[in-house]
Amino acid sequence: MEGRDYLRHPIQLTEAVKRAIEEADSFKQECSDVGSTVDRIGILLRKAARLSTNPAGAFYEHPTRRMMDEAKKTMEKTLALVRKCKKGGVLKRVITITSATDFQKINRLLLSTTEDLNWLLTISSGRDDLGGMPPIAANDPILAMIWQQIARVQAGIAEDKADAASTLASLAQDNERNGKIIIDEGGLPPLMKLLQEGTPAGQENAAKALGELARDQQRAQEIVKAGAIQAFVHVLSVAPVKVQTQAARAMAAIVSHDTDARSAFGNAQGIRLLVALINDTIDETSKTSMHTVVKTRMAQQSRSLGSPGKPWHEEGGGGGGGQQHSEDKPSGRVASLGTTTRAPNSHARTHSSENGKSYYHGSSLREKREREHEDPEVIYQMRAEVLRALWKLATNNIKNCKSITDTRALLCFAKLMEKEGEVQKNAVMAVCEIAAVAEHDQELRRAAFKMTSPAVRAVIEQLLKVIQSDDPDVQIPAMRAIGCLARIFPSKETHIVKPITDQLAREITVASEAAAALLKFTVAENYLKDQHSRSILEANGASHLVQLTYFPESAYQPVVLLCNLTINAGDHPALKSPDVLKAMEAASRSSLMQIPAVREILPKAIEHLELFKAGEDGAQPVDEFDNF
């Protein structure tokens, strides 16, 4: 009925014009010509009204309303002109002057209305033989193109729908205005329907278009309101790999702009589906092999640290004045490959761990077989986009991070960090974001990052390998991840800091990030700061930091780190070099002293270092300075 409401008035006006023509006394020929055109317009309006109320039809309402407004204005002007030709007195003829020029103007308006309506009926019927654009959009060709493509998505055949969705994706990618027009002109509902009900090609292009439209928070929220969460969950469950790839890409774009969408997608079990996708593409042989390697490495480390078969945390003695673990004490139980890393009270979220199965369900056997025959490049792209989606979902979201780590995701991340390109980068970024959240959430850190877990061990080892690569794009987030997890490493894990310390000799951007990561090993909140500080110094960290302090734009973290090393391990031989004290004294005369943290710690570090240097001949500094 709504369609009839905004179509009824123009139809009524056409009837009024025809009645006025019958009463015309002057310009009868001109009025007759006008009447013929109005008759055609009336027929077109009635066709539009019937189509708009047809439940089986796909009437495109947005251009219809705009065209009906223009048709209404044209009919009102036509009616006013024809009424001037009605019989009347001499005075009325004098006051109301009508000329042939007026009819020419009206005829042009009527012709434009006719062309608009013909164009509207054509696109609403799904035909593609438009042959031009409607006069109403003559000043904005892009608007007409977008109308046409949205109408094709609504009413076209399967191939046309897929092609139109691809065109909309390209238009949205071109510039911001196009994306705004697509959303404002009602493009979301047909794209969402195509995503859920279309052919694989149509679904793929619809997902691509939705991803291109999600350019800012407002548009992302509009896409979510249109039903994106449910649609993407459905696609990730049953669609072909190429469709799932575009769906994951679109979800990453949406949740990167809309924080509420991150939680909504996690609540809709989207994370479970994403993890299942990457897990199913890693063959069982690779996963078993990786598990064996990690278990073997853990056994070797256990034997090297104590009696055979005895976990490191059960050993007595050790450095650090009896400190055997960091702030986050891990349990001694080694999780199996398939179990999740979870808190003691989280068993309700998982099945029994005895059979090695996590709580999520993988794909069906048929879907796995289809993936086995898929193009490796397609699988690669799917992995990259799924990892990107998990990365964006984890950003600043504790609940999503818990959901991710409660699955096999960490082990999958470790395996995929062995790859190259986007897959490796996105896997590292996902781990980095989870680690950043875990840094400030003790429960997540203790549950998800136990050093006795094979998955965690595998992730750490892969991060260290990435740190030693030559690609800053992955080195930097890998170092950030290790830095965020600084409090999970026990004192005997001395091999953790050396690869990061080595990066202090690299280019300034990498070196600065390395200093920032190492700084978290030496802060007061880290209970093993003394042991970690000595490990950094033994890896030649002091000499590298001295050089970095002379780069004003990035000297803050190297200076603070050098101060922490001095306070935590001031008696270490590496700090006896006169260059260390010179660097600190130079920093004390620089603009860094305007920073409160530097102003507080630097004088203490200098005093601490001077006291140790003064005691080199036999006198040792008093104990009161040990815990500066």
What lies within 8 Å, CB to CB, of 515 at 6+ separation is 504, 545, 548, 557, 558, 561
Which two structure tokens, joined as six digits, stand for 495?
Answer: 């091999």
In degrees, rounded to 5, the angle at the alpha carbon of residue 459 between the alpha carbons of residues 458 and 461 is 65
- DSSP alpha helices (H): ranges in 138-281? 141-155, 158-174, 176-184, 188-197, 200-213, 217-225, 228-238, 241-257, 259-267, 270-280
Confidence at residue 96, expressed as pLDDT on a 0 to 100 scale: 59
Q: Does residue 103 fall inside a structural domain?
A: yes
**Whether residue 154 is found in the same domain as residue 214:** yes
Domain end call among 412, 429, 449: 449
What lies within 8 Å, CB to CB, of 20 at 6+ separation is 79, 82, 83, 86
Which two structure tokens, joined as six digits, stand for 108?
Answer: 């042009």
Confidence at residue 115, expressed as pLDDT on a 0 to 100 scale: 92
- Whether pLDDT at 328 is above 50: no
Q: Does residue 197 fall inside a structural domain?
A: yes
Which two structure tokens, joined as six digits, stand for 607?
Answer: 């005093």
- Whether pLDDT at 322 is above 70: no
Cβ atoms of 580 and 559 within 8 Å: the answer is no
Query: Which of 75-89, 137-151, 451-465, 552-566 is predicted with the least confidence, judged by mean pLDDT?
Result: 75-89
Confidence at residue 105, expressed as pLDDT on a 0 to 100 scale: 92
**Whether residue 104 is found in the same domain as residue 114:** yes
Compute CA distances 182 → 150, 170, 191, 193, 238, whole Å.
8, 12, 10, 15, 28
Calculate mean pLDDT across residues 148-165: 92
Of all residues in the chain, what percent carry a pLDDT higher than 70?
79
Task: Give the residue among 532, 326, 355 at the shortest CA–CA distance from 445.
Answer: 326
Q: Does residue 240 fall inside a structural domain?
A: yes
Confidence at residue 624, expressed as pLDDT on a 0 to 100 scale: 41
Task: Give the residue among 351, 330, 329, 324 at the shortest CA–CA distance from 340.
Answer: 351
**Whether residue 114 is found in the same domain as residue 133:** yes
Q: Does residue 51 fall inside a structural domain?
A: yes
Confidence at residue 472, expressed as pLDDT on a 0 to 100 scale: 94
- Whether pLDDT at 568 is above 80: yes
Residue count of the chain, please give it.
628
Cβ atoms of 219 and 258 within 8 Å: the answer is no
In whole angstroms, give the CA distance from residue 66 to residue 475.
Answer: 54
**Whether residue 250 is found in the same domain as residue 277:** no
**Whether residue 122 is found in the same domain as residue 18:** yes
Cβ atoms of 303 and 296 within 8 Å: the answer is no
With bands split at pLDDT 50, 70 and 90, how would you rate the model's confidence at 615? low
Q: Does residue 595 fall inside a structural domain?
A: no
Confidence at residue 321, expressed as pLDDT on a 0 to 100 scale: 36
If you ran DSSP here, which 8-state letter would residue 96 be given?
Answer: S
Name residue, tokens 């009896």: 322
Q: What are 5-21's pLDDT values in tens digits?
A: 778 899 999 999 999 88
CATH code for the domain in which residue 229 is found = 1.25.10.10
Q: Does residue 607 fall inside a structural domain?
A: no
Which two structure tokens, joined as six digits, stand for 284?
Answer: 């069982």
**Whether residue 11 is found in the same domain as residue 84:** yes
Amino acid identity of residue 445, one-letter, is: R
With bands split at pLDDT 50, 70 and 90, how would you rate the model's confidence at 612? confident
- Whether pLDDT at 299 is above 60: no
Of all residues in the chain, what percent carry a pLDDT higher than 90?
61
Q: What are 436-460's pLDDT values in tens digits?
A: 999 999 999 999 999 999 999 999 9
- Whether pLDDT at 365 is above 60: no
- Whether pLDDT at 352 is above 80: no
Task: Give the residue among 223, 288, 285 at the shortest CA–CA distance from 256.
Answer: 223
Confidence at residue 533, expressed as pLDDT on a 0 to 100 scale: 94
Q: What are 217-253's pLDDT values in tens digits?
A: 999 999 999 999 999 999 999 999 999 999 999 999 9
In whole angstroms, give the CA distance from residue 564 to residue 572.
Answer: 13
Q: What are phi and psi of 37, to 5 degrees?
A: -65, -40
H or E element at residue 298: helix 284-305
Calculate mean pLDDT across residues 135-161: 91
- Whether pLDDT at 325 is above 80: no
In degrees, rounded to 5, the angle at the alpha carbon of residue 332 between the alpha carbons of residues 329 and 336 is 120
Amino acid identity of residue 149, one-letter, is: Q
**Whether residue 89 is found in the same domain as residue 182:** no
Domain of residue 398: give its range: 269-303+365-449
| Number of domains observed in the structure of the chain | 3
Confidence at residue 128, expressed as pLDDT on a 0 to 100 scale: 59
If you ran DSSP here, which 8-state letter would residue 24 be given?
Answer: B
Q: Does residue 479 fall inside a structural domain?
A: no
In whole angstroms, give the CA distance from residue 141 to residue 180.
Answer: 15
Amino acid identity of residue 158, one-letter, is: A
Which two structure tokens, joined as six digits, stand for 397?
Answer: 């979201």
Confidence at residue 99, expressed as pLDDT on a 0 to 100 scale: 77
Q: What are 377-427's pLDDT values in tens digits?
A: 999 999 999 999 999 999 999 999 999 999 889 999 999 999 999 999 999
Cβ atoms of 346 and 406 within 8 Å: the answer is yes
Compute CA distances 556 → 96, 482, 483, 583, 602, whole Å.
84, 20, 17, 12, 11
Q: Does residue 241 fall inside a structural domain?
A: yes
Confidence at residue 130, expressed as pLDDT on a 0 to 100 scale: 55
Domain end call among 86, 117, 137: 137
H or E element at residue 3: helix 2-22
**Whether residue 107 is found in the same domain as residue 216:** no
Mean pLDDT of the chain: 82
Amino acid identity of residue 279, one-letter, is: N
Confidence at residue 58, expressed as pLDDT on a 0 to 100 scale: 62
- Whether pLDDT at 260 is above 50: yes
With bands split at pLDDT 50, 70 and 90, how would you rate the model's confidence at 367? low
**Whether residue 290 is found in the same domain as residue 373:** yes
Q: What are phi and psi of 338, to 5 degrees?
A: -85, -15
**Whether residue 99 is found in the same domain as residue 16:** yes
Domain end call among 137, 153, 178: 137
Q: What are 585-607's pLDDT values in tens digits?
A: 999 999 999 999 999 999 999 99
With bands split at pLDDT 50, 70 and 90, how would you rate the model's confidence at 49? confident
**Whether residue 175 is found in the same domain as residue 275:** no
Q: Over the range 537-569, which residues count as b (16 or more CB within 10 Å of their CB) and which as e?
A: bbbebbebbbebbeeeebbbbbbbbbbbbbbbb
Cβ atoms of 544 and 501 within 8 Å: the answer is yes
Q: Which residue has better confidence, 130 or 483? A: 483
In degrees, rounded to 5, the angle at the alpha carbon of residue 356 between the alpha carbons of residues 351 and 359 is 35
Confidence at residue 445, expressed as pLDDT on a 0 to 100 scale: 94
Taking only Cα atoms into account, the Rg of the chain, rounded to an integer number of angstroms, comes to: 35
- Whether pLDDT at 119 is above 80: yes
Q: What are 178-198's pLDDT values in tens digits?
A: 999 999 999 999 999 999 999
In terms of Cβ atoms closer than 10 Å to its own Cβ (0-12, 13-18, 19+), residue 575 is buried
With bands split at pLDDT 50, 70 and 90, how would you rate the model's confidence at 199? very high
**Read out DSSP for 558-624?**
HHHHHHHHHHHSTT-GGGGSHHHHHHHHHHHTSGGGGSHHHHHHHHHHHHHHHHHHHGGGSPPPPGG
- Whether pLDDT at 106 is above 80: yes
**Whether residue 258 is found in the same domain as residue 162:** yes
Q: Would you give the end-to-end CA distance of the chain in angstroms?
A: 79
Count of beta carbons in the 10 Å neighbourhood of residue 379: 18
| Bridge partners for 24 per DSSP | 86
